[in-house]
């Protein structure tokens, strides 16, 4: 088990539970040296109460975590970040947020900043290509510390198609060029094995996607993607994720880097 987790949400996003302090206490119990909070970043012009914090909650988010950082400094290092999609029309907002935190994660959940066209559904080839293009734009922006759940577009797919493979190759190539680590996301394990044409697979981390990623000289991060304090104590899901990918040549970042 690694000693860091930078992918931790809070109740402000509307679909996570628990207090900020409960996450810290769970991380200490789990033995983490570093806990990074990275709740879903707000959009100034697009309130998304069930998926992202509101812009008005940002001050409370920063104040609360800075208080906990000081309170628990002798037990754990706390770093403060945000997880965000990338849209060129919102680039100024993203830069403003980027400059307020210790790190900034790229997690492309929707095709539009108003929360429509979710990539968690069964994507058409056109939508998968759009996901890819948006991720590439985000990586080119230079704003992001690493790429979260790059295989999230597989969430409801039933087949790893040529377009899915093309997406994996293009994302991997761009991550190499931009020197951006990619995340093996543990949360997908909790959804269980699902039937694919090629056999049972986790939606993410998705085996066929990561077979392609392993062909490139990438740095790989593990992310719990915690939406409840108990997620930080879920060693079984971590073990299942590593078992799914254990024979692949992935260059994991094993020590804290933020």
Q: At residue 103, does pLDDT exceed 70?
A: yes
Percent of the chain scored above 90 by pLDDT? 93
Q: What is the pLDDT of residue 254?
A: 95
Q: At residue 50, does pLDDT exceed 70?
A: yes
Q: Show me where the domains of the chain are located.
A: 4-252
Q: At residue 154, does pLDDT exceed 70?
A: yes
Report how far residue 189's alpha carbon sits from residue 11's, in angstroms, rounded to the nearest whole number: 21
- Does the predicted model carry a pTM greater than 0.85? yes
Percent of the chain scored above 70 by pLDDT? 100
Q: At residue 109, does pLDDT exceed 70?
A: yes
Is residue 215 within 8 Å of residue 231, measured between CB atoms?
A: no
Report how far residue 15's alpha carbon sits from residue 115's, in angstroms, rounded to the nearest whole number: 14
Q: What is the mean pLDDT of residues 192-205?
A: 90
Report how far residue 53's alpha carbon sits from residue 10's, in angstroms, rounded to the nearest whole number: 9
Residue 167 vs residues 58, 82, 105, 113, 220: alpha-carbon distances, Å: 33, 25, 19, 21, 17
Architecture of the domain whose range is 4-252: Alpha-Beta Barrel (3.20)
Q: What is the mean pLDDT of residues 164-185?
A: 98
Q: What is the pLDDT of residue 199?
A: 87
Q: What is the mean pLDDT of residues 201-212?
A: 94
Q: What is the pLDDT of residue 1?
A: 66
Q: What is the mean pLDDT of residues 11-35?
A: 98
Q: What is the mean pLDDT of residues 120-138?
A: 96
Report how far residue 248's alpha carbon sits from residue 243's, in angstroms, rounded to the nearest whole number: 10
Is residue 106 within 8 Å of residue 135, measured between CB atoms?
A: yes
């Amino acid at each position: 088990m690694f000693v860091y987790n930078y992918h931790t949400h809070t109740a402000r996003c509307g679909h996570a539970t628990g207090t900020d302090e409960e996450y810290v206490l769970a991380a200490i119990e789990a033995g983490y040296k570093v806990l990074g909070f990275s709740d879903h970043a707000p959009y100034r012009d697009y309130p998304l109460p069930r998926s992202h914090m509101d812009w008005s909650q940002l001050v409370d988010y920063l104040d609360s975590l800075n208080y906990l950082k000081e309170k628990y400094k002798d037990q754990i290092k706390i770093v403060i970040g945000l997880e965000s999609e990338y849209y060129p029309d919102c680039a100024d907002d993203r830069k403003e947020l980027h400059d307020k935190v210790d790190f900034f994660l790229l997690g492309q959940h929707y095709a539009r900043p108003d929360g429509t066209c979710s990539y968690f559904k069964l994507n058409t080839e056109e939508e998968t290509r759009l996901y890819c293009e948006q991720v590439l734009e985000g990586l080119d922006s230079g704003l992001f510390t690493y790429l979260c759940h790059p295989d999230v577009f597989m969430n409801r797919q039933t087949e790893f198609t040529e377009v899915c493979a093309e997406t994996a190759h293009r994302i991997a190539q761009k991550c190499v060029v931009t020197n951006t680590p990619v995340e093996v996301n543990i949360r997908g394990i909790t959804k269980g094995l699902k039937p694919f044409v090629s056999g049972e697979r986790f939606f993410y981390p998705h085996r066929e996607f990561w077979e392609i990623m392993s062909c490139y000289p990438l740095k790989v991060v593990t992310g719990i993607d915690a939406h409840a304090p108990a997620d930080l104590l879920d060693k079984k899901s971590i073990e299942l994720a590593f078992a799914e990918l254990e024979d692949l040549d992935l260059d994991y970042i094993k020590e804290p880097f933020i």
